[in-house]
Amino acid sequence: MNLCVLGAHWGDEGKGKIVDLLTPHFGVVARYQGGHNAGHTVYVQGEKFVLHLIPSGILHDGVTCVIGNGVVVDLTALFAEIDMLASRGIDVSGRLLVSDKAHLILPYHREFDVLAEARRGERRIGTTSRGIGPAYEDKIARRGVRVGDLADLSPDGPLASAIRENVAARNRLIHDSAMKADDVLGALAELWPRLRPLVTDTSLFLHRAMKEGRRVMFEGAQGALLDIDHGSYPFVTSSNATAGGAATGLGVPPRAIQAVLGVAKAYITRVGEGPLPTELFDEMGERLRETGQEYGASTGRPRRCGWFDAVATRYAVRINGIDALALTKLDVLDGLDEVKICTAYRRGAETITEMPGDTAQLAACEPVYETMPGWKTPTAGITEYDRLPVEARRYIARLEEVCDVPAAVISTGSDRQHTIIRRDTIAAEWFG
Ligand code: GDP
Ligand code: IMO
Ligand code: MG
């Protein structure tokens, strides 16, 4: 069975850990959207790896990792990541493939991302400054540069003229920019020989792999609530982080996605601007941030923290067809007197249980909480469900009830082995 693993919240739910954990059951792990705005952390016996562009399955030998057409690729970031892995004994050669249709993030995208944010001032999005939005802008405007275009680097070829036009257009918008098209082209020409062996028609590769019976895991970046269409627009990323993005971002039929695992923290976090209805501005928010080490894996920015938002999670379950949740960071709630779940929002005199589509309306929502007793015995490192304190089990059961989905995986620490897999909650084929 092929499985899509994606974020059910605003990113950083622990997708990296869950993908790495499940990879031994799969032959291929494929990223379908986003770029190096993502930071997916994997701990292997205490050793920390942060993956930005390369799928989080790469740490397992024999697994093929795919960067799909829906991803925007910064080649400098890609090679830095390959080098980081090589320096730690992980060789990607022969098992990392990049789609010829993936769009490139070029230096002018990064420059423009920073400038656009500065110009927005108070209305800034709080992007990761990686050039993600501007690269997708060029893609949609049909002036982007794709990986496969690098095959023709001739000075009067289509790639060179596209880059010249794009640099000239950006330079008109950025008055003090001294960017030169020839420098951009020169850098690409230097990187191409190294990239060429990785480039292929990844849609065809996936088609053949599935035909041969290799199981594919689709790895989402960001989260459902940052999705360009379904997230809290405009405070979103520029791609479809929801399950549908896996089909378009990899060129596989929607039916290839046979199950969806939504990763959600046992509380909630968000980096950057935009509404977060359950955000805690008090000592509890600070406690979650410090205990959960809630600082961005890519940018180091402190993450905003709040109680579990079941309205938002239910929405993510609905739009992605989430079959089960992987509930992470349960251990971060250890030792609290009480824990809260937001089961509805209050907007003026109205109580609502569905996520408003309008972001100003979402920002006006106040959480309606249910309070439950916390647990005093730690859950950290526990690997069997029955050994969790009864209050923690009740909390999980209530989350399952209000989100109307089973919690098939429960994570109690950052390392691979700090995990509970509840095989009784899902079909046997899920994890081999
Ligand atoms: P991703 O972007 O969804 O892959 O998540 P990040 O890697 O950005 O952030 C998740 C953070 O939580 C990482 O530092 C993980 O090592 C850590 N983590 C994941 N699961 C757990 C868990 O169950 N308990 C604790 N304490 N940390 C976890
Ligand atoms: P992973 O995959 C959390 C947020 C940024 C900003 C908004 C737009 O690690 O979960 P962008 O640079 O994409 O244009 O920024 O999206 N954002 C993330 N937040 N986790 C991520 O990735 C994110 N990638 C982007 O903070 O609010
Ligand atoms: Mg992250």
- Say if residue 116 is in the same domain as residue 253: no
- Say if residue 277 is in the same domain as residue 136: no
The yes-or-no verdict on residue 205 having pLDDT over 90 is: yes
Give the pTM. Answer: 0.98
Cis-peptide into 234, omega within 30 deg: yes
Query: How much of the chain exceeds pLDDT 90, in percent?
Result: 95
- Say if residue 332 is in the same domain as residue 189: no
Give residues with Cβ within 8 angstroms of 187, minimum separation 6: 107
Asked if residue 94 is part of any domain, the answer here is no
Contact 347, 355 (CB under 8 A): no
Ligand nearest to the CA of 382: 1
Domain's final residue, options 174, 197, 220: 197
pLDDT the model gives residue 428: 83
Domain's final residue, options 163, 178, 197: 197
Query: Atom 23, ligand 2: which residue's CA is nearest?
Result: 222
Asked if residue 256 is part of any domain, the answer here is yes
Asked if residue 353 is part of any domain, the answer here is yes
- 220 Cβ below 6 A of ligand 1: no
Catalytic residue numbers? 12, 40
Which runs of E-coded beta strand occur in 329-386? 338-347, 350-352, 366-373
The residue-averaged pLDDT of 285-293 equals: 98
- Say if residue 206 is in the same domain as residue 193: no
- Say if residue 408 is in the same domain as residue 328: yes
Number of domains in the chain: 2
Q: How confident is the model at residue 309 (pLDDT cuts 50, 70, 90)?
A: very high
- Say if residue 162 is in the same domain as residue 299: no
Asked if residue 96 is part of any domain, the answer here is no
- Say if residue 35 is in the same domain as residue 84: yes
188 C-alpha to center of ligand 1: Å?
34
Residues with CB under 6 A from ligand 2: 7, 11-12, 37-40, 125-128, 130, 132-133, 221-223, 226, 237-238, 271-272, 297
Domain's final residue, options 197, 231, 266: 197
- Say if residue 364 is in the same domain as residue 297: yes
Asked if residue 286 is part of any domain, the answer here is yes
* Owning domain of residue 176: 103-197
Asked if residue 12 is part of any domain, the answer here is yes
> Domain of 374: which CATH number?
3.90.170.10
- Say if residue 286 is in the same domain as residue 271: yes
- Say if residue 157 is in the same domain as residue 191: yes
Asked if residue 97 is part of any domain, the answer here is no
Q: In whole angstroms, what is the distance from residue 426 CA to residue 410 CA? A: 13
Q: In whole angstroms, what is the distance from residue 16 CA to residue 67 CA? A: 15
* Least confident piece of the model among 12-16, 174-178, 199-203, 259-263: 174-178
The yes-or-no verdict on residue 431 having pLDDT over 90 is: no
Contact 139, 179 (CB under 8 A): no
pLDDT of 99-151, one tens digit each? Answer: 999 999 999 999 999 999 999 999 999 999 999 999 999 999 999 999 999 99
Contact 242, 319 (CB under 8 A): yes
Number of neighbours of residue 337 by Cβ within 10 angstroms: 9
Q: Give the three-state DSSP class for 310.
A: helix
pLDDT of 210-245, one tens digit each? Answer: 999 999 999 999 999 999 999 999 999 999 999 999
192 C-alpha to center of ligand 3: Å?
28
Give residues with Cβ within 8 angstroms of 190, minimum separation 6: none
> Domain of 120: which CATH number?
1.10.300.10
- 309 Cβ below 6 A of ligand 1: no
Dihedrals phi, psi of 309, to nearest 5 degrees: -110, 100
pLDDT the model gives residue 299: 84
Contact 371, 338 (CB under 8 A): yes
The yes-or-no verdict on residue 175 having pLDDT over 90 is: no
pLDDT the model gives residue 260: 98
pLDDT the model gives residue 174: 78
Q: Which of 18, 81, 263, 271 to mutate to test the pocket of ligand 2 (most atoms within 8 A of CB)?
A: 271
- Say if residue 407 is in the same domain as residue 327: yes
- 20 Cβ below 6 A of ligand 1: no
Q: Which of 50, 265, 294, 414 to mutate to test the pocket of ligand 1 (most atoms within 8 A of CB)?
A: 414
Contact 117, 125 (CB under 8 A): yes
Number of neighbours of residue 256 by Cβ within 10 angstroms: 17
Asked if residue 268 is part of any domain, the answer here is yes
- Say if residue 305 is in the same domain as residue 375: yes
